[in-house]
Structures are given as structure tokens and as C-alpha cells.
């Protein structure tokens, strides 16, 4: 069968081609100044991102995994502590906890594919020090419920907000609910650079100070080394690219929200699907739609049918929730999450797809279930 249309899951060349002339101009400017590490472009980007998020401190680092570890360490996590996280996340969430010496404790996925507050409460022990929700697919978790749990049990709240730059719950941006959060600038993210990149965002002055030191060999402003640390700085060139893309970011987010509306209009009557909440589902939530993840009956058959029709899809995290990565030492059973991972699939969601592309995807999904 020959597909009538080609809709890749993500078109990586477009990250560069969409802004090729401007990116080349930025490259020439930065290169001509020899401004490669820690220059004015990085400082300007950090300031502009802080203004966009409404969060006091932004510290650019090498990637979001490093950012998670530095945030956890700066917040005081250490050996003997436990931190609860949702198993529907990138393994980096657990790794950031692990490398402080603390123990990552996975819990169930809940509504909107984010952390289930009821499961969190069941995971709390005397060793629990913090909760780390993943603000997944560009949507915040139920932050009222999670903050209540933290307040009731004397726990810290840290956020893996790597996929959620600009997402809000009751007008508070992802990363702004607790001690701090992290953002990823991986190329496929809503704000992506041309390589690896990330940042820590926090309103906490002490955490900001420590993260800046941790990202630069443990050195203070006088370049005196105070801690054993690694080197994880956001390249000045990548910061310059990101600063330009940030100037168009609000339009990019609105485009994603419009794509989500098209998906909902085309798919919300299919009984065999469970969709992410729509952009207009709840005024308390402002979702940025990093991804468009759904639950689907006959998921594997649907995926194959879409491939045959030129449509790229992805099953997040390679189809394995973190708690099933047994070689890492996890032994938990999470039935809701395990069932979810037999049904979850992500559809194309990025600014390089057209309305016609999305309508084509919807038509093919409708066609698949009609024939079943």
C-alpha cells in the first residue's frame, strides 16, 4: 500500500531549516566575537526566560538530566532519603534523585497522564523527603492535591518540568510550585536548541547559588572551589539560538494548542480512545502540548496501520515505565501504569505539521476503528 501523505512524528531537520538564515546570522555573530562560554548571550537568555516564566532565577546548564541532579542536590537530598516520582516519565527523573544518594520511589500515573496523588500518599514512609511530579506532555499535575500532601507530611516539592515550559496550573507556571524545577531544551522540545541543553528554574536564592556552583566545577564567584562537582554549562551559542526562538515562543505554543483542538474535534467521538484533556477542558490548566498522547484499544495494530499510511507515531520511553526497569533495582508493581503502557501512543505534535496533516491523521484513525 502506498501512503497518500507523509506525516513524520517529528521532522528534526525543520528545527534548523525553519530559521536557517537567522540561525546562521547568530552563529556568525557569536563566532566572530569568540563568545563561546558564559557570555552576554547566555545572561540575556536567562533574564528573558525568567521574565517569561515569572520565576526569579534561571540557570542554564548542559542538559535537563544534569539539571535534575543539581536541583536535587541543592535542595539537600542525600543518602537515606526517599523521593516519590511518577513511573510514567523519562528515567532521568529517577536518575537525578539516585545520584544524590537518595532512593527514587515510583508511583502510579493518574488523570491527564500525570502523577496520581492517591498513589503518592500510599508511597509515603518515614524516609520520604520530597515529591517530584513530572509535568508531562506540557501539562501540570494536580498541584493543589500534591501541595496539600507535602504540607500535611512536611515534604519538599521539586518538579521535573522538562516538558512543560510555560504550562500553568491556576496561573502558576510549571517549575514555580515548590523549591524549583527544570526545563529541557532538547531539539524536539517546545523550545529546542540544536543540541543538548537545559536549565534549573527556582525562586529560592540559595538553590540558585548552589546550582550555579555545581554547574561550574563547584566554584564560587571568586572561582574558589567549594564542592566536588562536574562541568555542565549551557553553551553560549545554544543560548543565543534559544533566545531568538524564545521571542516566537508564545506563537509556537498557541499553534500547538490549535493542533490539539483539531485532534479533539476529529477523535473525541471514538469510543476506543482516551484523549489528553483538550486546551479548553479546564480553565485552571494552561497546557502547552509538548506531546499529544492518547490511550488506544488495539494500540499496536493502530500503530502499524498508521505507519502503512505514512504517519509516524511514538510510544513514550520505548514503552517501558521506569518501575519496570528491573536492572536498576525497582521491584514495585503498579497495575494502572502497566495497563496504561499497553495502550499509550503519541501522535504527531509539532509546529511543522499542517492542519491538513492533522486532519489526515484523524481520518486514518477513524478509518481504522470503523474497519474494526
Domain presence at residue 69: yes
Local confidence band at 322 (pLDDT 50, 70, 90 cut-offs): very high
Domain presence at residue 169: yes
- 334/87 Cα distance (integer angstroms): 8
Judge if 55 and 139 occupy the same domain: yes
For residue 346, pLDDT over 90 is answered with yes
Q: How big is the CA angle at 127 (ends 218 and 110), to the nearest 5 degrees? A: 95
For residue 345, pLDDT over 70 is answered with yes
- Of the listed ranges 34-38, 124-128, 148-152, the one predicted with least confidence: 34-38
> 67: how many CB neighbours lie within 10 A of its CB?
33
Q: Which of 355, 280, 331, 337 is nearest to 87 (CA)?
A: 337
Judge if 205 and 319 occupy the same domain: no
Structural domain of 351: 249-371
Domain presence at residue 330: yes
Domain presence at residue 11: no
Local confidence band at 371 (pLDDT 50, 70, 90 cut-offs): confident
Q: How big is the CA angle at 91 (ends 162 and 99), to the nearest 5 degrees? A: 95
What is the rounded average pLDDT for all residues in the chain?
A: 97
Asked which of 246, 275, 309 is the last residue of a domain, the reply is: 246
Asked which of 246, 280, 306 is the last residue of a domain, the reply is: 246
pLDDT 10s digits, 246-291: 999 999 999 999 999 999 999 999 999 999 999 998 999 999 999 9
Judge if 129 and 176 occupy the same domain: yes
Cell matching residue 33: 566575537
CATH number at residue 26: 3.40.640.10
Asked which of 194, 220, 246 is the last residue of a domain, the reply is: 246
Q: Which of 294, 295, 265 is nearest to 280 (CA)?
A: 265
Domain presence at residue 6: no
Q: Which of 257, 86, 89 is nearest to 162 (CA)?
A: 89
Q: Which of 198, 197, 196, 238 is nearest to 36 (CA)?
A: 238
Domain presence at residue 177: yes
Q: Which residues contact 197 (CB under 8 A, 6 or more apart)?
A: 60, 61, 62, 63, 184, 185, 186, 234, 235, 238, 239, 242
Judge if 257 and 163 occupy the same domain: no
Judge if 217 and 261 occupy the same domain: no
Strand partners, 181: 159, 201
CB 140 within 8 A of CB 114: yes
pLDDT 10s digits, 180-226: 999 999 999 999 999 999 999 999 999 999 999 999 999 998 899 99
Pairing of strands 180-184, 156-160: parallel
Helix, strand and coil percent figures for the chain, each rounded to 5: 45, 15, 40
DSSP one-letter string for 249-281: HHHHHHHHHHHHHHHHHHHTT-TTEEPPPPTTS
Instruction: Work out the average pLDDT over 14-30.
Output: 96
- 303/295 Cα distance (integer angstroms): 12
- 351/239 Cα distance (integer angstroms): 21
Residue with grid cell 540558585, as numbered in its chain:
208
Cα dihedral 100, 102, 106, 111, rounded to 10, equals: -60
CB 200 within 8 A of CB 65: no
DSSP letter (8 states) at residue 230 = -
For residue 31, pLDDT over 90 is answered with yes
- 207/212 Cα distance (integer angstroms): 9
For residue 2, pLDDT over 80 is answered with no
Instruction: Work out the average pLDDT over 336-349.
Output: 98
Judge if 77 and 89 occupy the same domain: yes
Judge if 306 and 212 occupy the same domain: no
DSSP one-letter string for 284-323: TEE---S-EEEEETTHHHHHHHHHHTTB--B-GGGG--GG
Amino acid at each position: 500500500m502506498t501512503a497518500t501523505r507523509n506525516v513524520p512524528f517529528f521532522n528534526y531537520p525543520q528545527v534548523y531549516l525553519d530559521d536557517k538564515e537567522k540561525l546562521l546570522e547568530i552563529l556568525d555573530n557569536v563566532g566572530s566575537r569568540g563568545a563561546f562560554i558564559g557570555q552576554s548571550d547566555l545572561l540575556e537568555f536567562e533574564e528573558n526566560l525568567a521574565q517569561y516564566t515569572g520565576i526569579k532565577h534561571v540557570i542554564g546548564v548542559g542538559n535537563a538530566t544534569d539539571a535534575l541532579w543539581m536541583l536535587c542536590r541543592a535542595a539537600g537530598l542525600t543518602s537515606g532519603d526517599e523521593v516519590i516520582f511518577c513511573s510514567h516519565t523519562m528515567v532521568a527523573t529517577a536518575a537525578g534523585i539516585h545520584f544524590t544518594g537518595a532512593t527514587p520511589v515510583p508511583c502510579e500515573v493518574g488523570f491527564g497522564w500525570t502523577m496520581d496523588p492517591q498513589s503518592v500518599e500510599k508511597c509515603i514512609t518515614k524516609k520520604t523527603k520530597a515529591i517530584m511530579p513530572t509535568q508531562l506532555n506540557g501539562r501540570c499535575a494536580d498541584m493543589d492535591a500534591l501541595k496539600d500532601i507535602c504540607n500535611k507530611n512536611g515534604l519538599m516539592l521539586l518538579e521535573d518540568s522538562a516538558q512543560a515550559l510555560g504550562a500553568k496550573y491556576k496561573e502558576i507556571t510549571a517549575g514555580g510550585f515548590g523549591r524549583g524545577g527544570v526545563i529541557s531544551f532538547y531539539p524536539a522540545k517546545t523550545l529546542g536548541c540544536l543540541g543538548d541543553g537545559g536549565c534549573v528554574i527556582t525562586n529560592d536564592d540559595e538553590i540558585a547559588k548552589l546550582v550555579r556552583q555545581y554547574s561550574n566545577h563547584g566554584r564560587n564567584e571568586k572561582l574558589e572551589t567549594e564542592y566536588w562537582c562536574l562541568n555542565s554549562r549551557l553553551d553560549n551559542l545554544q543560548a543565543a539560538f534559544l533566545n531568538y526562538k524564545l521571542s516566537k515562543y508564545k506563537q509556537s505554543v498557541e499553534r500547538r494548542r490549535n493542533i490539539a483542538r483539531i485532534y479533539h474535534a476529529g477523535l473525541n467521538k471514538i469510543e476506543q480512545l482516551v484523549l489528553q484533556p483538550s486546551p479548553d477542558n479546564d480553565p485552571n490548566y494552561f497546557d502547552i502540548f509538548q506531546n499529544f498522547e492518547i490511550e488506544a484499544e488495539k494500540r499496536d495494530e493502530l500503530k502499524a496501520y498508521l505507519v502503512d499510511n505514512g504517519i509516524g507515531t511514538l510510544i513514550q520511553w520505548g514503552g517501558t515505565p521506569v518501575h519496570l526497569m528491573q536492572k536498576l533495582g525497582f521491584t514495585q508493581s503498579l497495575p494502572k501504569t502497566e495497563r496504561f503502557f499497553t495502550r499509550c501512543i503519541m501522535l504527531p505534535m509539532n509546529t511543522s505539521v499542517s492542519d491538513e496533516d492533522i486532519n489526515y491523521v484523524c481520518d486514518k484513525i477513524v478509518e481504522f476503528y470503523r474497519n474494526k
